[in-house]
Structure 1
């Protein structure tokens, strides 16, 4: 059985469960919240910063085709560039999720020029089983449920996110 099928089967009960059956984690006090996120795709790391100081580092998993900038719907790439956390979903089918503001105007322009849909719904979300080491998303940034709960409490809507190759 392929790893993707095994992961899908592992996530299936979470997808069928009632949406986030408990209250999502509360926001940390403002003085503890991140004011910037930096993602290094090649090193599979996401870092949270506050006033220029590193406050957290997480191992992450990406889309099934992680090399290169997302160019269109369905390419399974994680975008690269400067974005923001543009929303929060406490009822995500992947536990919790923070929306990344992809596509931006430049992404839409390049997609239009190529006659394709740039895609969307890029999130930082949970759902990765602990110890799972293979990229599996359709272009999102995946964490474990415990990690996304911590990130949820530390990252307010509007936080800038830089995604590097």
Structure 2
């Protein structure tokens, strides 16, 4: 009878261990982490839309998983020099068709949200933010046919930008 008690004891331990794994498992897998692009030298951070990741080789670049060549973005900065933000954008996008251009603020900083396109090259939704004597530009580039279904996610990311 002693052997039966030991086997029962091990069975109880195994059942309890399985119950603990089953209880902890779904919670851990249900938590989704949102990728975030952060550029410390610019004091910039932004959560990415679901399914987008930061490039492991260049933390200023990001892309949609499985579609890095066609669905991508970047954070970059440019000196403003003596230009206004408006003239900077016009010059920077002189070879693109500007479809929409709206004023936007990020914290205490002013900027413009621009949708531009080039035939056969896709659509770019960008946010150009003036921070002192520089412009921080963050953009998403996708094929034109995918833009309408991804636009809301891009705008949510823009709305969550933090600048220090």
Q: Same fold (TM over 0.5)?
A: no
Bigger Cα Rg: 2
Which structure's residues are more often helix, by fraction?
2
- After TM superposition, the score normalised by the length of structure 1 is 0.29
- Greater share of strand residues, 1 or 2? 2
